[in-house]
Amino acid sequence: MDMPSLLLATGGHQIEAAETLIEVGRFIVILFAARALAELMVRFRLPAILGELVAGVLIGVSGLHLILAPELGGQLNAVAEHTIAALAHVGPEQVQGLYDHSFSNLQAVAKIGLLALLFLTGLESELDELMAVGGQAITVALTGVVLPFALGTAGLQFLFGVPLLPAIFAGAAMTATSIGITASVLGELKFLRTREGQTVIGAAVLDDILGIVILAVVVALAGGEGLTVGPILKLIAAAAVFVAVALFLSRTAAPAFDGLLDRLRAPGEVVVAAFLVLSLSCFAAQAFGLEAALGAFAGGLILSASRHRHAIEEAVKPLVALFATFFFVLIGSGMDLSVLNPFNAANHEGLVMAGFLLAAAVVSKVAAGWSYISPGPTNRLAVGLGMMPRGEVGLIFLGLGTQTGVLGPSLEAAILLMVMGTTFLAPVLLRLVLADPGETGEAAPLAP
């Protein structure tokens, strides 16, 4: 039922009350479930985003049907539907109509979370640390992008008959590395300031840059650019130039930004100025035919050299923590995990596909640890494992792939399990390998 019909069927006050109850109720369900599961994961020393994903699965199409995108065609949880109907004095069928109509508001909040998360990723990119370990980080990063992309794309095509564009999207989702997860574990184990630790962080920075460029190109292809050489080369060139300009501006425009920020006196000047740069970067990316996601990342890169960088991080992180929660929960809520039910023979190929993606994701990143030349003894396994977690960056690929409609249910679930598997395994395996760095005798301190 559309909105004009609803307004004719009931009074405006009841409609407004029902809409408010629906939207606020969704926020309560998402934040409560996400926080409860995130707290549980953190207590097991696992990344909080795994909890947010699982929360989405539990309250989404595979669980309680409390968060349900209209395009999934499912029926809203009956208890929730009748409760809102009784409180707002409208019919249950009208609640479903209002729920579907207002779902775009929730998606808009999740989009803010996605862009803010990418902005923070760019902001936290340690470009100086990338330069400090130069060639080693570049070699690890290139291997860690090319190998999983090639393995994922070719394997899905030739082993499972997946069409080229979805296979490319899945391969692209395997390229990036989660800086936050790896840095957290390496820091906890006092391994971050070793040459291996800095190689991992430097390579992860470059991984993110290359991964976001690939993402911008693949999403554009999914939007109808076509798999022909000309448009692909044009998109790659445009994305590369856009990132290059952002890196140039990080050295030249950051001082001007700092000077402006020093003159501002009104409360909230740091976060407002940062989000203005974020918005301008997203606008510029879209104006040049690229994805807003690339613009958000570039905006963070531009401010990564700012004197106020740490103040910006402190101001932006709470907003990212809030809004990105909606993004991760929505990803989980849209995953139909029934396609991975092992007792249904029709799902066996999808399960094998998920296993293949996880194995390829692990092997390809671990192999990257052996791809560089080191002047002395080095813990290559630690480097490879440090590159393994896809974390939030892999989920960004999955979220945009789902939005474009390129990925089928089986491939969506397989990518989700790959992201969750690598994100879960990496911290566990790193703690095992680096339980006592002093015993290995291989961790080389980074020269001052």
> pLDDT tens digits for 79-106?
999 999 999 888 888 898 899 888 999 9
Residue 310, SS3 per DSSP:
helix
How far is C-alpha 324 from the chain's CA centre? Answer: 9
Q: Are 280 and 253 in contact (CB under 8 A)?
A: no
- Among the residues of 10-91, which ranges form H helices? 12-43, 48-59, 78-88
Mean pLDDT in residue range 296-309: 88
Report the pLDDT value the prediction gives residue 29, as an integer from 0 to 100: 95
pLDDT per position as a tens digit, 357-393: 999 999 999 999 888 877 777 788 988 998 898 877 7
What are the backbone angles phi and psi of residue 14, rounded to the nearest 5°?
A: -65, -40
CA distances from 376 to 215, 379, 405 (A): 36, 10, 48
Higher-confidence position of 341 and 148: 148
Report the pLDDT value the prediction gives residue 147, as an integer from 0 to 100: 94
Mean pLDDT in residue range 164-190: 80
Q: For residues 350 and 413, give the distance between their C-alpha atoms in angstroms, rounded to a whole number.
A: 8
Res. 443: pLDDT tops 60 = no
Inter-axis angle of helices 409-433 and 179-188, nearest 10: 20
Res. 130: pLDDT tops 70 = no
Report the pLDDT value the prediction gives residue 298, as an integer from 0 to 100: 87
Domain boundaries, the chain: 3-107, 109-440
Report the pLDDT value the prediction gives residue 238, as an integer from 0 to 100: 81
What's the pTM value of the predicted model, to 2 decimals? Answer: 0.78
Q: How confident is the model at residue 402 (pLDDT cuts 50, 70, 90)?
A: confident
Q: How many Cβ atoms from other residues are within 10 Å of residue 287's Cβ?
A: 9
Q: For residues 251 and 165, give the distance between their C-alpha atoms in angstroms, rounded to a whole number.
A: 37
Res. 72: pLDDT tops 80 = no
Report the pLDDT value the prediction gives residue 379, as an integer from 0 to 100: 85
The CATH class, in words, for 109-440 is mainly alpha
Mean of per-residue pLDDT scores for the chain: 83
Tokens of 379: 């813990």
Q: How confident is the model at residue 437 (pLDDT cuts 50, 70, 90)?
A: very low
Higher-confidence position of 222 and 138: 138
Q: For residues 432 and 448, give the distance between their C-alpha atoms in angstroms, rounded to a whole number.
A: 28
Higher-confidence position of 399 and 167: 167
Mean pLDDT in residue range 320-344: 85
Residue with tokens 């249950």: 92
Report the pLDDT value the prediction gives residue 158, as an integer from 0 to 100: 93
Q: For residues 185 and 432, give the distance between their C-alpha atoms in angstroms, rounded to a whole number.
A: 11
For 410-437, b/e burial (b = at least 16 CB within 10 A) is bbbbbbbbbbbbbbbbbbebbeebbeeb
pLDDT per position as a tens digit, 218-277: 877 776 655 566 667 777 788 888 888 888 888 888 888 988 888 888 888 899 999 999
Res. 188: pLDDT tops 80 = no
Q: How confident is the model at residue 56 (pLDDT cuts 50, 70, 90)?
A: very high
Q: For residues 107 and 87, give the distance between their C-alpha atoms in angstroms, rounded to a whole number.
A: 25
Report the pLDDT value the prediction gives residue 55, as an integer from 0 to 100: 94
The share of the chain scoring above pLDDT 70, in percent, equals 89
Mean pLDDT in residue range 4-23: 73
The share of the chain scoring above pLDDT 90, in percent, equals 24
Report the pLDDT value the prediction gives residue 23, as an integer from 0 to 100: 93
Q: For residues 426 and 195, give the distance between their C-alpha atoms in angstroms, rounded to a whole number.
A: 19
